[in-house]
Structure 1
Amino acid sequence: MLDEASVADVTAGTPEVIKSKKPVSRFRLISSRLRSTPRFWVGFIGLAVISLWAIFGLAPNAWNYTDLDVRNMGASPSGLHWFGTSDIGEDIYAQTIVGLRKSLIIGLIVGPLAAIIAGIIGAVAGYIGGWWDRAIVWVIDLLLVLPSLFIFILLSQVLKSKSWVALIFLLSGFGWMIMARVIRAQTKSLRERDFIKAARFMGVDTWTIIRRHVLPNVSSLLIIDATLGIGGAILSETTLSFFGFGIQAPDVSLGTLLSAGQGAAATRPWLFIFPAAILVFTVLSASLVGDALRDAVDPTSGVNRD
């Protein structure tokens, strides 16, 4: 028999998870890992700051993004126009706020929406198998080899007459294929697990098994994909808008601001630098959160950099 002192000596260097009498849930374990990851806090605080700025940033500004100050056309940053003005007197600060809002909305919708599509299609293909699986894999492979940029270019004329909401569905429609393949492979493995076999034996229908058992078990992958997809969607929208195939005037996004300011980057750098800096900061923050979340869910996915 070990006395209390001996037990204390044995458990002195034991991790908290082992010493705890109650099993630690996966959610608490991931939360604990995230709290101890500095880059998660850097990215999370960065996203929080940029989101609050996008929501409330126009409140202290005297100019709307459609206003024209004809007395200060092409003016440098000042107390009157914090980010300067464009060639026709548009307030760059107000336009940057509005463009950031549009880019954030697109990223926050496209990332999760593409992950949801990937989860459903990948789970159906992996669980049902047969000709469903072969047909879905064929569609995935076809979409992966199609040059999405050229498709966007071809559809740009149609998008010009539509709302920018159409761009959300277009980006989501080309952002789910790789994760769908991953979910399909995971589902094929889950299909042979005992709890799935037990559910089938009890007569649970296919769609209920996918909804209650398959998707919850791959949800961590989908959350990571959705988080990382936010930054990717913002970059995709910015790239398309930069080349004139995404957001169209009179709407404003970070891509349209970068496109309008690139020609004057050397002579009037405020037209380009401020939207570019905001874009880099936003995408970097989202990437840090997604990267930290991936390592928290699967510590073996990469070398710990903290």
Structure 2
Amino acid sequence: MTGRRSAVAGAVLLVLLALPAFAGPLVSPWGWDETDFAAFRQGPSGDHWLGTTQSGRDVLALTLRGARNSLSVGLCAAVLSTGIAAVAGTAAGFLGGRADRMLMLGADLLLVLPSFLVVTVLASRLTGGWPVLVPVLAAFMWMVTARAVRAATLSLREREHVLAARFLGLGAPRVVARHVLPHLASLLVVDASLNVGVAIAAESGLSYLGFGVRPPDVSLGAVIADGQGGATALPWAFGSAAGTLVLIVVAVNLLGDGLRDLLDPEARR
């Protein structure tokens, strides 16, 4: 019951945050890239509901744009990393032998690397907006899940229905798709939901440092970095993006924890 309440609360909060983020032009009367030359450093008002920045840009529009980009990166990176983990883990566990050793060696090598430092160096050399961050982040998020998937696959491949399918001559891809992956669905769903928060936090950190989403576009990390200098004088410019980022990560974690309690038998004990 606790897991269900957590999942519902997280899902509702996430929807309430995502809807205005992706419908930004319909919610805010100002565009995120527009400048009001008559309203520099203005507090919340009827024209600018969350005030303006030092450069006269609407804080609400910037926050919604930043939330949309951060959510897009988080969702895409989580799905991609979980997909990589599913393929690598099932291949290692089902095939065994050299494939298993090579895949797990690659996972171990990536685990010992200082991932945030490597991602920062790679991201600093990339251009093209937030889509280029997705594969970079996903490349360092799949290893632990792949090991869990491998362990589960090692157990599943000895089950009677899997052995029967192999004896009937079905190829490895079809056996995995039909008889292994369905049993791993709960693990992969929970992993993807939790990875959204990890990816959003990583992307926001990169953008805060100037290595993520680049100007003229913005993400929540970039908006926070822009507003931190005037956090005491212009709290609306800093607090809106920071508060939104915290709420998004809390919502994603609530959803992930709730799904884990609902779908993982071990977590319910």
TM-score bracket for this pair, using the shorter chain length: over 0.9
Q: What is the TM-score with the length of structure 1 in the denominator? A: 0.84
Q: 1:50 aligns with which of 14, 17, 22?
A: 17
Once the two structures are TM-superposed, the CA of residue 119 in structure 1 deviates from its matched residue by 0.6
Once the two structures are TM-superposed, the CA of residue 54 in structure 1 deviates from its matched residue by 1.3
Once the two structures are TM-superposed, the CA of residue 302 in structure 1 deviates from its matched residue by 5.5
Once the two structures are TM-superposed, the CA of residue 42 in structure 1 deviates from its matched residue by 1.2
Is the 1:140–1:177 contact (alpha carbons within 8 Å) kept by the matching residues of 2? yes
Once the two structures are TM-superposed, the CA of residue 298 in structure 1 deviates from its matched residue by 2.0
RMSD of Structure 2 on Structure 1 (CA): 1.5
* In 2: Cα distance, 1:156 partner to 1:202 partner: 48
* In 2: Cα distance, 1:149 partner to 1:196 partner: 39
> After the TM superposition, which residues 145-160 of structure 1 pair with which residues of structure 2 at under 5 Å, given as runs?
145-159=112-126
> After the TM superposition, which residues 159-238 of structure 1 pair with which residues of structure 2 at under 5 Å, given as runs?
159=126, 161-238=127-204
1:61 corresponds to 2:28: yes
Partner amino acid for 2:143?
Answer: M
* In 2: Cα distance, 1:251 partner to 1:134 partner: 42
Partner amino acid for 2:230?
Answer: A
1:161-185 Cα offsets, whole Å, 9 max, x none, are 3332110111111111100000000
What's the counterpart of residue 122 of structure 1?
89
SS at match of 2:125: helix
Choose between structure 1 and 2 for higher RCO, CA contacts under 8 A separated by at least 6 residues: 2
What's the counterpart of residue 106 of structure 1?
73
Q: 1:275 aligns with which of 232, 241, 254?
A: 241
* In 2: Cα distance, 1:86 partner to 1:231 partner: 27
* In 2: Cα distance, 1:96 partner to 1:157 partner: 23
What's the counterpart of residue 211 of structure 2?
245
Partner amino acid for 2:39?
Answer: N
Partner amino acid for 2:165?
Answer: A
Structure 1 ranges of 4+ moved more than 2 A: 55-58, 161-164
Is the 2:187–2:264 contact (alpha carbons within 8 Å) kept by the matching residues of 1? no
Higher alpha-carbon Rg: 1
Once the two structures are TM-superposed, the CA of residue 60 in structure 1 deviates from its matched residue by 4.2
CA 1:62–1:254 in structure 2 vs 1: closer, same or farther (change >3 Å)?
same
Is the 1:42–1:285 contact (alpha carbons within 8 Å) kept by the matching residues of 2? yes
* In 1: Cα distance, 2:6 partner to 2:130 partner: 33
What's the counterpart of residue 50 of structure 2?
83
Once the two structures are TM-superposed, the CA of residue 239 in structure 1 deviates from its matched residue by 0.8
* In 1: Cα distance, 2:115 partner to 2:20 partner: 32
* In 1: Cα distance, 2:27 partner to 2:173 partner: 51
* In 1: Cα distance, 2:265 partner to 2:159 partner: 23
What's the counterpart of residue 92 of structure 1?
59
* In 2: Cα distance, 1:191 partner to 1:59 partner: 51
* In 1: Cα distance, 2:27 partner to 2:67 partner: 17
SS at match of 2:38: helix
1:28-87 Cα offsets, whole Å, 9 max, x none, are xxxxx68x8222221111011112111334324321111111111111111111111111
Partner amino acid for 1:222?
Answer: L
Structure 1 runs not aligned, ≥5 long: 1-32
Structure 2 runs not aligned, ≥5 long: none
* In 2: Cα distance, 1:119 partner to 1:156 partner: 25
Is the 1:152–1:245 contact (alpha carbons within 8 Å) kept by the matching residues of 2? no
Number of positions where the alignment pairs a residue of Structure 1 with one of Structure 2: 269
Query: Identity of aligned pairs, percent?
Result: 41
1:255-287 Cα offsets, whole Å, 9 max, x none, are 100111111112211111000111111111111
Partner amino acid for 1:123?
Answer: T
